[in-house]
Every structure is written in C-alpha cells, then in structure tokens.
C-alpha cells in the first residue's frame, strides 16, 4: 500500500484490510473483488491483484507463512528489491539496507553531495549499514527522509543538518533525479489513471452495464472510456458477465 502512496492515505485502508484479512491465507481465500473493494481510494489497483496472487503463493507454497529469505521474498508476485528488503529487515531482522526515494535523497544530499545513480546509492547505503540494529537504522533513514529530507527539505529543522554534506558545502540540489528508485508520476487529474479509478469506484458499489457506466461517467468520451475498460479487463481487475461489468471474481 505504501508504494507510491503517502502514509496518511494508507493508514485507514490498511487497518480495514488487516481486520478483514489478518493472515495471508485469509486474503488468498477471498475473491479478488473483495480485495479490490478494500483497496478503494489507494489507486494503482494492480498492486491489489499482485497482493492477492502473492497471498495465494504464500498459502500454497509456504504453508501460509511469509517467507523470510530475500530470494523467497523476491519470488512473490509484485515484490521487488525495496519491498523484499523492507520485509526481511523489519519482520525478520535480516541485515540488509533499504533504498527508497526518501533514503536516496539523504544519501545524495547528506552523504555524497552529488547525484547518485541507483547502483551508487545501493552501494552507499549498504556501506553505511551498521553491524547491529540494522532495522532501527533503516527505520531512522526512512523517517529522516519522510519528515525532514523531503523533496523540499526542511534543513532548518533537520536533526543531522550539522553533518549534511550538501548543507556544509552548498551547490545545486543533488537529490533531483537521484537514486533512480522511483519515477515521477504524470499529472493525475484528467489522466487515464483517474478514469480507471472512477470505473473501479462505480463497480465497487455494484455491477453496471456499459451503457449505465457511460451515463455515470458522462464527462469521459465514450471511446476513451471503452479503452480504459478494456485495459482493466486485460489487467484482470474487472470482467464482463453478460451485459454487466463487474469486479473480477464478484
């Protein structure tokens, strides 16, 4: 849920999700439609589908237990390096560094005072990782980046400003395009992502016909709406039953 989404937007859906699905097996046994309904408001709904598929993998291949090794975690659907390292570190105490956009800014500004590519950032954060209390180190780095070393940094409030290489030596902001761990998102308003969200929001309430959907989303050109719907069907998020469009597995 936290991938490309602010913590403030995640907390409430996360609590509802865990109440409904306290274990991977509970999530795996549910329909994708049920998972998508609880994903409302978070966007990037393909993540919900990946999570549902991962839950099935955990149920069927790992006896319902989340695997603890990086190799096994990376084999799960939708789990990349960042997520695997975060789960391994925080859940299982594996001594591995976490690199996300927040950490990348700290590395490029506070440590290197230069723009870093992904391999450079990965190597630098691994070098900084202490021999003990690695999970605490990772959490501190994530919090520092989220609260102080933001895209618009709060240098006057930052607790490590006195040792920040960029603060001490100056120059243009090295964090811009640094670390390469996330790509800037295009504008949401008016995008196909917004229309996809609108379609899913309607189908979370109840199945509707394509004719009704066009009426409910009359501001969207019919050709564009059909293209978005076709994309959602292709992604396995919705399906057509007779004349009705519905969440997959409804």
Residue 85 shares a structural domain with residue 14:
yes
15 and 84 co-located in one domain: yes
If asked whether residues 158 and 209 sit together in one domain, one would say no
pLDDT of residue 97: 97
Instruction: Note whether residue 24 is domain-resident.
Output: yes
113-126 per-position pLDDT tens digit: 999 999 999 999 99
pLDDT at position 178: 83
CATH of the domain at 66: 1.10.340.30
Per-residue burial over 216-248, b if 16 or more Cβ lie within 10 Å, else e, is bbeebeeeebeebbeebeeeebbbeeeebbbbb
Strands across the sheet containing 208-209: 208-209, 244-247, 238-241
Asked if the structure places residue 39 within a domain, the reply is: yes
Question: Is residue 1 one of the residues assigned to a domain?
Answer: no
**Percent of the chain residues past pLDDT 70, beyond the cut:** 98
Instruction: Provide the number of structural domains found in the chain.
Output: 3
- β-partners of residue 238 are 247
pLDDT-derived band at 250, boundaries 50, 70, 90: confident
- The tens digit of pLDDT for each residue in 201-221 reads 999 999 999 999 999 999 999
> How much is the pLDDT for 4?
76
CATH of the domain at 159: 1.10.1670.10
Token match 């919900």: residue? 48
Give residue 234's domain range: 192-247
Q: What is the pLDDT of residue 141?
A: 97
Q: What is the CATH number of the domain that holds 222?
A: 1.10.10.10
In a domain, 211, yes or no: yes
């Amino acid at each position: 849920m936290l991938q490309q989404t602010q913590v403030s937007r995640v907390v409430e859906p996360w609590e509802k999700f865990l109440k409904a699905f306290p274990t991977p097996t509970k999530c795996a046994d549910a329909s994708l439609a049920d998972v998508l309904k609880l994903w409302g408001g978070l966007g990037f709904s393909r993540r919900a589908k990946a999570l549902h598929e991962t839950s099935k993998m955990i149920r069927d291949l790992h006896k319902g237990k989340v695997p603890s090794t990086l190799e096994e975690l990376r084999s799960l659907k939708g789990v990349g390096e960042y997520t695997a390292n975060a789960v391994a570190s925080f859940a299982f105490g594996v001594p591995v560094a976490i690199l996300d956009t927040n950490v990348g800014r700290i590395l490029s500004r506070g440590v290197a005072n230069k723009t870093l590519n992904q391999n450079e950032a990965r190597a630098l954060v691994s070098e900084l990782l202490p021999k003990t209390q690695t999970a605490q180190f990772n959490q501190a780095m994530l919090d520092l980046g989220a609260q102080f070393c933001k895209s618009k940094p709060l240098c006057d409030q930052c607790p490590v400003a006195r040792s920040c290489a960029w603060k001490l030596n100056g120059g243009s902001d090295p964090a811009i395009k640094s670390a390469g761990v996330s790509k800037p998102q295009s504008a949401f308003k008016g995008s196909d992502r917004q229309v996809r969200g609108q379609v899913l929001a309607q189908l979370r309430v109840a199945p509707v016909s394509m004719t009704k959907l066009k009426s409910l989303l009359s501001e969207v050109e019919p050709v564009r709406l059909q293209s978005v719907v076709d994309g959602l069907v292709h992604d396995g998020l919705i399906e057509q039953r007779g004349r009705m469009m519905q969440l997959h597995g409804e």
